[in-house]
């Protein structure tokens, strides 16, 4: 997993939770191999924007890796409506893997602004080593209103503070006692989003309380 920082020519004014489309082929906007959506993984208050991606051998990843300092890139932004609003007094995240990227933008914003939104993050990964942004998340958890809950699915964690198992209905009700009072954010691949939405619906969480963004072709 790698993060990339860019300094825009002018402020984007994006809202925490939004994303951009990075265009390596601006002449063919439909080129899905070279033009991809990436969530902001930084607070909008910063002078730079940051995106984070799990790199592969794909043409897009190789283009990212080959970028040189000072090199110009083209992107379309801001995009997306699955965003944080200050009037949300209680929020919860049901997240797996790379779905954490827009969550980082939201939580960093809340922490840096010292907002009073009550936050619970339920974050699932296959192993402890795959938990990205772990140091940053723990730092922000020093705020009394921000609570991080980690769970690992493939190998029983060494860290006894971590949970073992997939996010399911029982885990949600156990870790988020006041779930009926919260706005739920769900980011990630379609399968993950569907499973987490089903959990919320089983708990009679209203559709208005669920904010979902699917990561397609990530």
Q: What is the pLDDT of residues 126-158, one digit of tens each?
A: 999 999 999 999 999 988 899 999 999 999 999
Mean pLDDT for the chain?
94
How many C-alpha atoms does 103 have within 13 Å on its Cβ side? 32
- Residues 68-107 have pLDDT tens digits of 999 999 999 999 999 999 999 999 999 998 899 999 999 9
Has residue 218 got a pLDDT over 60?
Answer: no
pLDDT of residue 189: 87
Fold of 90-214: Rossmann fold (3.40.50)
108 pLDDT more than 80: yes
Cα–Cα distance for residue pair 215/218, rounded to 1 Å: 6
Q: How, if at all, do strands 2-6 and 49-53 pair?
A: antiparallel
- 3-state secondary structure labels for all residues of the chain: CEEEEECCCCCCCCCCCCEEEEECCCCCCCCCCCEEEEEECCCCCCCCEEEEECCCCCHHHHHHHCCCCCCCCEEEEEECCCCCCCCCCEEEEEEEHHHHHHHHHHHHHHHHCCCCCEEEEEEEECCHHHCCCHHHHHHHCCCCCEEEEEEECCCCCCCCCCEECCCCHHHHHHHCCCHHHCEEEEEECHHHHHHHHHHHHHCCCCHHHEEEEECCCC
| 194: pLDDT strictly greater than 90 | yes
pTM to 2 decimal places? 0.93
Mean pLDDT of 169-192: 95
For residue 20, the model assigns a pLDDT of: 96
What does the alpha-carbon distance between residue 117 and residue 146 come to, in Å, rounded to a whole number? 8
- The rounded distance, in Å, linking the Cα atoms of 81 and 83 is 6
Fold entry, domain 2-79: Elongation Factor Tu (Ef-tu); domain 3 (2.40.30)
**Pairing between strand 118-125 and 146-152?**
parallel
**CA–CA separation, 152 and 67 (whole Å):** 34
Take residue 96 and report the two structure tokens written for it. Answer: 């797996």
If phi over 0 gives left and psi between -120 and 50 gives alpha, with beta otherwise, what is residue 99?
alpha
Q: Compute the average pLDDT of residues 197-212.
A: 96
The confidence score (pLDDT) of residue 217 equals: 59
- The full set of domain ranges for the chain reads 2-79, 90-214
Read off the pLDDT band of 214 (50, 70, 90): confident
pLDDT tens across 21-62, in order?
Answer: 999 999 999 999 999 999 999 999 899 999 999 899 999 999
């Amino acid at each position: 997993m790698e993060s990339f920082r860019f300094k825009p020519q002018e402020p984007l004014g994006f809202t925490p939770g939004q994303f951009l489309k990075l265009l390596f082929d601006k002449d063919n906007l439909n080129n899905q191999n070279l033009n991809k959506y990436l969530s902001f993984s930084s607070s909008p208050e910063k002078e730079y924007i940051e995106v984070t991606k799990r790199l592969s051998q794909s043409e897009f990843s190789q283009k990212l890796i080959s970028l040189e300092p000072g090199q110009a890139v083209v992107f379309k932004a801001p995009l997306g409506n699955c965003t944080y609003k200050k009037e949300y007094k209680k929020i919860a995240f049901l997240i797996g893997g790379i779905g954490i990227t827009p969550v980082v933008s939201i939580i960093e914003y809340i922490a840096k602004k010292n907002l009073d939104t009550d936050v619970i993050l339920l974050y699932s990964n296959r192993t402890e080593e795959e938990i990205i942004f772990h140091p940053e998340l723990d730092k922000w958890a020093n705020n009394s209103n921000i609570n991080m809950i980690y769970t690992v699915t493939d190998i029983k964690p060494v860290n006894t503070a971590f949970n073992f198992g997939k996010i399911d209905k029982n885990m949600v009700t156990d870790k988020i006692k006041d779930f009926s009072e919260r706005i739920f954010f769900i980011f990630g691949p379609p399968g993950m989003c569907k499973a987490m939405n089903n959990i919320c619906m089983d708990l009679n969480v209203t559709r208005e309380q669920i904010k979902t963004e699917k990561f397609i072709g990530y």
